[in-house]
Amino acid sequence: MEVDKSRKIISLGIEGSANKIGVGIVDQDGTIYSNPRTTFITPPGTGFMPKETAEHHRAKVLTIIKQALEEAKMTLDDITVISYTKGPGMAGPLSVGAIVARTLSQLYNKPIVGVNHCIGHIEMGRVVTKSENPTILYVSGGNTQVIAYSQNRYRIFGETLDIAVGNCLDRFARIINLSNDPSPGHNIEQMAKLGSRYIELPYIVKGMDMSFSGMLTHIEELVTGKKTSQTKKQQQEQSGKMQIEETYSKEDLCYSLQETIFAMLVETTERAMAHCNSREVLLVGGVGCNVRLQQMMGIMAGERGGSVCAMDDRYCIDNGAMIAYAGLLEYKFKGQTGMRLEECTFTQRFRTDEVDVIWRND
């Protein structure tokens, strides 16, 4: 379908699948006119729950839409298509975006497109970095996937066999009681910089798949084990037997956890690259913001004669613009039509490889 070049397609995208609510406005070249968002932050030792997160999004969404339009110096009349995250994600938070998008679509008579969240990260990443056909490592709170494109699908070559990397990091942060502000991952990263002693942790890779839950159990045992061993130490001192107990500093734990988990991610990504004869890597998802992970990935890709696409907030962290852009592609290549209203639902489970990638023909 050829697009009328004289008129720009402008897409407004609403993202609210997890703890961030964001609205972005983009055009078909990937130019971002505005992209505000806010994050629902919970106290240390707690995670974000669906109900409270949805309440947060509901309270903020309209203000953020207004802000996005103001920053872009646009009104809803300038918008060609409305995009929203259809899934995957938590039902409550997802429903906020879907309902607001449907209402706007009806009120202003605009076409509407529901977007796969993961595809949003990937397509925004491709347009921002101008990377044609990278191997993608998608690492976030709910996802750990090694993805490569072939025949109109983003195919999953490797993934976690149990919990997601981000989830593992978040739960680890709770075990050692780190703050959730701005994010557990960020705080682990900062603390890891102060660590120096590498503590051996379970390293579980099965081909291009990996497992993280054993790691958490192991660390939990180390941490709680330390507590009991301190009492044991007292007992030993009382009984006159002196024994030096191993202690693990938070810094060393953060350092060792990162080094181990990221090595697993880099290894499986490299295996997929070798398997697919690919040289470029695109890191997407919140965990992709981690500088150490980027650095490790860079070394690996460099040694293969390839490179990692420069990391960028526009596609790494959840935001409205990436949803707007992926929605725009779908709209443009479907002959400039949106979805039927009854298709505009939301769904907690929506796999990356379910989406028919009509906008690529390589």
Partner 1 sequence: MEQSELIDAGGVAPQITKQPEQLNLLSQGAEGRLFLGDIFGQVCVIKERFQKNYRVPQLDAKLAQQRINQECKNMARIRKFGVPTPALYLIDEVGRKIYMEYLGKHAYTVKEFLYQLKSFDHPILDQMVDKIGTNLAILHTNDQIHGDLTTSNMMIKPKVPLGLQLSTREEDKRITASEIAESGTLGDVYLIDFGLSFVSGKIEDKAVDIYVLKRAFISTHPGSEDLFDRILDKYREKAGAQGLKIIAKYKDVEKRGRKRECFG
* Per-position x/- string for 251-290, each x denoting binding to ligand ATP as judged by CB under 6 A, each - no binding: --------------------x--x----------------
Q: Residue 38 and residue 61: Cα distance in Å, rounded?
A: 9
The CA distance from 129 to 108, in Å, is: 33
> Stretches 38-46, 74-82, 143-151, 221-229: which one binds partner 1 (CB under 8 A)?
143-151
Q: Is 297 in the site for partner 1 (CB under 8 A)?
A: yes
Annotated binding-site residue? 117: yes
Is residue 279 within the footprint of partner 1 (CB under 8 A)? no
Smallest separation, CB 171 to partner 1 (Å): 13
Point out which span in 82-90, 185-193, 236-244, 328-336 binds partner 1 (CB under 8 A).
82-90
Minimum distance from residue 299 beta carbon to partner 1 (Å): 4
Side chain identity, residue 156: I
Count of residues of this chain found to bind partner 1 when the rule CB under 8 A is applied: 58
CA angle 255-258-264, nearest 5°?
140
8 Å CB contact between 182 and 39: yes
- CB distance 92 to 53 below 8 Å: yes
Give the alpha-carbon dihedral of 18, 182, 268, 151, to 10 degrees.
40
Residue environment code for 52-74, b if the CB has 16+ CB neighbours within 10 A, otherwise e: ebbebbbebbeebbebbbeebeb
For residue 84, the partner it binds in partner 1, ligand ATP, none, with Cβ less than 5 to 8 A by kind, is none
Residue 158's binding partner, choosing from ligand ATP, partner 1, none, with beta-carbon cut-off 5 to 8 A by kind? partner 1
In terms of CB distance, is 2 or 246 closer to partner 1? 246
Residue 84 binds partner 1 (CB under 8 A):
no
Least distance between partner 1 and beta carbon 88 (Å): 4
Please give the Cα distance from 94 to 316 (Å, whole number).
19
Q: Which does 11 bind (CB under 5 to 8 A by kind): ligand ATP, partner 1, none?
A: none
Q: Which of 39, 78, 133, 203 binds partner 1 (CB under 8 A)?
A: 203
* String of contacts with partner 1 for each residue 146-165, x by CB under 8 A: --x-xx-x-xxxxxxx----
Is the distance from CB of 189 to CB of 291 less than 8 angstroms? Answer: yes
From candidates 7, 130, 227, 349, binder to partner 1 by CB under 8 A:
349
Considering only residues 248 to 267 of the shown chain, the ones binding partner 1 according to CB under 8 A are 259-260, 263, 266-267
Residues in region 101-140 near partner 1 by CB under 8 A: 117-118, 121, 140
Instruction: Find out whether the peptide bond into 36 is cis, omega within 30 degrees of 0.
Output: no
Tell whether 170 is in a known binding site: yes
Alpha-carbon 84 to chain mean position: 16
For residue 337, the minimal CB distance to ligand ATP (Å) is 45
Residue 13 binding target from ligand ATP, partner 1, none, CB below 5 to 8 Å by type: none
Shortest Cβ distance from residue 275 to ligand ATP (Å)? 8
**Cα separation of 256 and 5, whole Å?**
53
Q: Fill in the DSSP letter of residue 160.
A: B
Q: Which two tokens stand for residue 207?
A: 């081909």
| Distance (Å) of CA 271 to CA 15, 97, 211, 246, 303 | 32, 37, 16, 36, 13
- 133 appears as a binding residue in the annotation: no
H-helix segments, 243-290: 250-276
User: Which uninterrupted H or E stretch holds 11?
Assistant: strand 10-15
98 binds partner 1, rule: CB under 8 A: no
- Can you give the binding site for partner 1, defined by CB under 8 A? 17-18, 87-90, 117-118, 121, 140-143, 148, 150-151, 153, 155-161, 198, 200, 203, 205-209, 259-260, 263, 266-267, 270-271, 273-276, 285-286, 295-297, 299-300, 303-304, 318, 348-351, 353
